[in-house]
Structure 1
Amino acid sequence: MSESSSGTWAEIFTPRYATVTLILCLGVALFAFNAFLASTALPTAVQQLGGVALISWALTLYLVLAIMGGAGAALMKQRLGSRTALLVSAAVFLVGTLVAAQASSMPQVLVGRCLQGLGEGVVAAICFALIPELFPPRLVPKIFGMQAVIWAVASFGGPVGAGLLTELVSWRAAFLANVPVVLIFAAMVAFVVPGKTQAVVDSPGFPGVRLLAIGGGIMLVALAAVAQPLLAAALLAGAAALLVGAVLLDRRSRVPMMPAGAFWPTSVVGGGLLINLLMSMAGAISGVYLVLLLQQLWGWGPAIAGGVGAVMAVAWSFSAIVVANVKSYATRKVLIRTGPALIGLGLLGVLAGLLSGQLAMLLVGQVAIGSGFGIAFGYLNLSVMEAAPAGDRDRASALVPTTQSAGNAIGAALAGLAANSAGYASATTSGDIRSAIVPMFVLGASVAGLAFIVALRTTGLMRGQAGGASFASAE
């Protein structure tokens, strides 16, 4: 593995790679900052435009369309080429931003959010697909480390920046903050990203049924997150049927959207994507509920509670940077196994901190969760890219961010079902809330434990050869 472990941080900023690094970072920044910009500005928009009942749909529809766009991104890249696909999807995102920013009613905001989600889903997926195409394997961990840093910055700077723009200018200005970033991103893509390199032998067509099944499944998941327990269970069962059906239908398709064996732990690619999904599901519990619980149980304000919630993102970024210089292939496999274990232990630590009122214990749990993602995700995703055959590499790479988004949505819905079944929605005292959240965190730790078991199997399938030597730009 000497070839894939000799890269340095300085190399990704050399003239050869600096522009491409910036493009990929801008693509991630669009997704990361937009999530915080929208969630901060939307409450003010609702007050001005009315339609408070629609505010949750502004987030839900964005997520659903982003996952659908990400699922079809590999086929779009195959048909149009990387450059055109990114420019088209960036244009869709830009139009959605302008529609939302100029909206005179909440339904118009929803239309804009749908276009934003669709465009950004494709952008994020293609940016991931370009990593093995434009970088040799030795630099891939550094790229994932940079992306983790962007998420950490977004978790702090996004809400602050959006809040200032909303208060000092307007909520529309918070949305329009995306415009210069999109334009810079598009200009750089037009000059740097390669176009269509070869003719498509099999025209992909439009995978309408599969995309509708995926979108419908995620929509049911989103509805389950706010439904009563019995209805939520039924909605999740329907979502599972649609999502599993989409995967099975894709396997039978002449031109699939997903790599062979996706989400089935009999290969490194399938097992890696499954671990990615399960880890995201587990981490969503703390990510979605912790800030709210700190306000409910400890009486903290949004700013302090949000700062504690962001500790996970900081730990993720720091640990990703630390392990980006790992040279041993055996150590890489250890990191992939250790990540889910840390997430599970961290969730139990956060629960113990909330129940006991011990801030130090809670912070240790948050650091463990973030570190679990930071040490494992980069090498897990690199292993998926390396193991994927050349014809499946675009599909495997593009599916990574889509899988993370789907895992976050499913995890949040399962957490809500577990907590509400234990009486969280009707809890009126701190004691009732503490009792209700125990099943939620135990469920998350169990999902992380399942990810650990799959990681043991998947890393056992890995071989020590430099599979990434087949990357297009490997030297």
Structure 2
Amino acid sequence: MHEPDDTASDARWSELLTPQFSAATTTLCLGVALFAFNGFLVSTSLPTAVREIGGLKLISWAFTLYLVLSIVGGASGALLKGRLGPRRALVGAAIVFLAGTLIAAFASSMTEVLVGRALQGLGEGVIAAICYALIPDLFPSRLVAKVFGAEAVVWAIAAFGGPLVAGLLTETVSWRAAFLVNVPMALIFIALVFRIVPRSATEAAPLSVPFLRLGAIGGGIMLVALAGVMQTLTLEVLCVAGAAAVLIAVVAVDRRSRTPLFPSDAFALTSTVGIGLWIVLLMPVAQASTSVYLVMTLQNLWGYGPTMAGAFSASFAVAWSSIAILVANVQDQRRRAQMIRLGPALLVTGLAVLVLGFSADLPGVVLVGQMSIGAGFGVSWGFLSQSVMESARDGERDRASALLPTLQSAGYAIGAAVAGLVANAASYPQATSPEALRAATMTIFAVSTMIGLAAMVAGFALPLRRKTVFAADLS
């Protein structure tokens, strides 16, 4: 493991590609690529699969089960890393992901696809969580922001390359070929894990899995997902409220457990880790509405085709990765703190600009708003994640680090459900005129702006004091 160093100003991008760090950089970026590309590959090819094997009524569950199981897997990632060791945990998770990929790719029914997608989600959730937890293990503090910048580039490449590759393969070969793109990526990932990731576990205790809490987490996220398919507003509200109650109870019980899944100060309002995790949750909750409704509105309101509307949506990823690369060279701790606080502010500004753009019927303004949202994530996400990692209490850094991607996924799930609830309350599905559609869309993004304000307040409340010693680090 690496201790923090005093030569942060000497950090260079090229250092990630030196013999000392290149394999680790490739391994972690490939772990992110598995998650990123898989989502775009499946979303592009699955409609064709449904036309061949049937099961249209179950198509949404292919995404729901993946999301639920990925969050459950992510929640158990730190525990598995500590008890099995990072190498065995990652290889085991990759094998589960591979098995799910093969089952889905050779499926003859939608039921088999759902089984495969569930296994993919479980494996990828563990992979994402452990890859995050390994960042401070494999890289010195001065390079951590650059690692997050490199991962942002992977997401941007996946946003453009994933649908293109999946579309070409689906049209020229088969939808099954699009699924099978994951196979060589996963095999390369396993080979790199054997080369670079430490074998030993950090705890000698036997593996004890808190199935009840993990099941409750899955149940809570499932309630969130079910809210999106309820037929009445009352049932939607009950599902979201029930999910909130279950997840709050899980956090409360976890704090008293002998085998905790989360850091002891998770979501506390008095610590960097606690407040930082609130920001990690609230920013995706606020942004999720654009992922669900922006493309659809652009097509229905302004007549954009899928390509143009998709390009509008993808500008979010481009802005995120571009800004993440630009700010990764910032080493001054005070400026980094300012970047963390600037992120939610840009998110709120971008969402408000979306409302303005639709109100004024100006697509260019909408594009600026979408890019501002991406810039908000790009300017803050790496520094925010690093701050949470480095501020964790002794012995809790793995749990804090592994929770970051899991909480991000949970935020998107919750945000999508809340956006759906608002959309139904604003009669978005029933909007038949441009005026009605514009009004409903503005309502959705106005509510998202208010959620973003909570993240912005949390950003200014974040106590940013850099730890000078990693108590859990060993040279």
TM-score by length of 2: 0.97
1:20 aligned residue (19, 24, 49): 24
Pair 1:263-2:264 in alignment: no
**Which residue of the partner structure matches residue 390 of structure 1?**
394
Cα distance between partner residues in 2 of 1:357 and 1:413:
26
Counterpart for residue 462 of structure 1: 464
How many Å apart are 1:320 and its aligned residue? Answer: 0.4
Q: Which residue of 2 aligns with 1:156?
A: 160
Provide the C-alpha distance between the structure 2 equivalents of 1:103 and 1:159, rounded to a whole number of angstroms.
21
Tell me if 1:221 matches 2:227. Answer: no
The amino acid of 1:463's aligned partner reads R
In the TM superposition, what is the alpha-carbon distance from 1:263 to its structure 2 partner?
A: 1.7
1:290-316 Cα deviation digits (max 9, x unpaired) = 111100100111111001100010000
Distance 1:29 1:354 in 2: 34
2:425 equivalent in structure 1: 421
CA gap of 1:473–1:291, structure 2 versus 1, over 3 A, is farther
Residue of structure 2 equivalent to 1:141: 145
Q: Structure 1 residues 262-271 or 131-140, which shifts more?
A: 262-271
Gap runs ≥5 in structure 2: none
Cα contact 1:83–1:189 (8 A) shared by 2: yes
CA apart distance, 1:162: 0.4
2:379 matched residue in structure 1: 375
What's the offset of the Cα at 1:439? 2.3
Greater shift after overlay, 358-367 or 139-148? 358-367
Give the counterpart letter for 2:336 in structure 1. R
> Quick one: distance in 1 between partners of 2:45 and 2:458?
40
Paired residue type of 1:139: L
How far apart are the structure 1 equivalents of 2:75 and 2:447? 27
In 2 relative to 1, CA 197–210 (structure 1 residues): closer, same or farther, beyond 3 Å? closer
Gaps of 5+ in 1: none
Residue 221 of structure 2 aligns with an amino acid whose one-letter code is: I
For residues 281 and 195 of structure 1, the distance between their equivalents in structure 2, rounded to whole angstroms, comes to: 36
Q: Which amino acid aligns with 1:195?
A: R
- Take 1:260 and 1:290, find their aligned partners in 2: how far apart are those partners? 38
Aligned match of 2:310 in 287, 306, 310? 306
- Residue number among 36, 43, 53 corresponding to 1:39 in the alignment: 43
Query: In the alignment, is the contact (CA less than 8 A) between 2:82 and 2:201 conserved in 1?
Result: no
**1:279 and 2:280 equivalent?**
no
1:134–1:473 Cα contact (<8 Å) kept: no
| Residue 36 to residue 430, structure 1, CA distance change in 2 (3 Å) | same
Query: Which deviates more, 220-229 or 88-97?
Result: 220-229
Aligned to 1:206: 209
Cα displacement (A) at 1:351: 2.0
Is the CA contact 2:390–2:467 (under 8 Å) kept in the aligned structure 1?
no
Decide whether the 8 Å contact of 1:155 with 1:310 is kept in 2: yes
Change (3 A) 1:258 1:204: farther
1:473, distance to aligned residue in structure 2 (A): 6.7
For 1:369, the aligned partner's letter is I
Structure 1 distance, partners of 2:346, 2:405, is 21
Deviation at 1:464, TM superposition (A): 4.7
Alignment of 1:317-396 (within 5 A): 317-396=321-400
1: CA distance, partners of 2:293 / 2:161: 20
Aligned to 1:288: 292
Instruction: Select 1:51's aligned residue among 51, 55, 62.
Output: 55
State how far apart, in whole Å, the 2-side matches of 1:293 and 1:80 are. Answer: 47
Moved more, 25-34 or 434-443: 434-443
Report the counterpart of residue 472 of structure 1 in structure 2: 473
How far has the Cα of 1:229 moved from its partner?
1.5
- What's the C-alpha RMSD, in Å, of the aligned pairs? 1.3
Matched letter for residue 256 of structure 1: P
What amino acid is the match of 1:167?
Answer: E
CA separation of 1:192 and 1:355: change in aligned 2, threshold 3 A:
same
Pair 118,5 (structure 1): closer, same or farther in 2 beyond 3 Å: farther
8 A contact 1:9–1:142 mirrored in 2: yes
Aligned equivalent of 2:451, options 442, 447, 453:
447
Moved more, 30-39 or 184-193: 184-193
Amino acid at match of 2:26: L
> Per the alignment, in what secondary structure is the counterpart of residue 91 of structure 1?
helix
- Tell me, in whole angstroms, the C-alpha distance in 2 between the residues paired with 1:32 and 1:317: 14
Aligned to 1:100: 104
CA contact (8 A) 1:133 1:473 kept: no
Instruction: Give, as a single letter, the amino acid of the residue that structure 2 aligns with 1:346.
Output: G
Counterparts of 2:216 and 2:142 in 1: how far apart (Å)?
Answer: 37
Structure 1 residue 471, shift from structure 2 partner:
6.6
Which digits, 9 at most, give the CA deviation of each residue in 1:202-235, with x for residues without a partner?
x451111111111011111111123232110010
- What SS does structure 2 have at the residue aligned with 1:390? coil
Cα distance in 2, alignment partners of residues 182 and 369 from structure 1: 31
Cα separation, partners in 2 of 1:250 and 1:176, compared to 1, 3 Å: same
8 A contact 1:136–1:471 mirrored in 2: no
Offset at 1:389?
2.2
C-alpha change, 1:299 and 1:195, in structure 2 (3 Å) is same
1:423 partner SS: coil
Question: How far apart are 1:470 and its partner, in Å?
Answer: 4.9
Assess, with a 3 A threshold, how the Cα gap between structure 1 residues 417 and 198 changes in structure 2: closer, same or farther: closer
> Contact 2:391 / 2:467 at 8 angstroms: preserved in 1?
no
- Give me the identity figure in percent: 55
Q: CA deviation at 1:466?
A: 3.3
Among candidates 69, 74, 90, match of residue 70 of structure 1: 74
TM-score normalized by the length of structure 1: 0.97
Q: Is residue 442 of structure 2 the alignment partner of residue 438 of structure 1?
A: yes
CA–CA distance in structure 1, aligned partners of residues 460 and 428 of structure 2: 35
Task: Tell me, yes or no, if the aligned pair for 2:82 and 2:202 is still in contact at 8 Å.
Answer: no
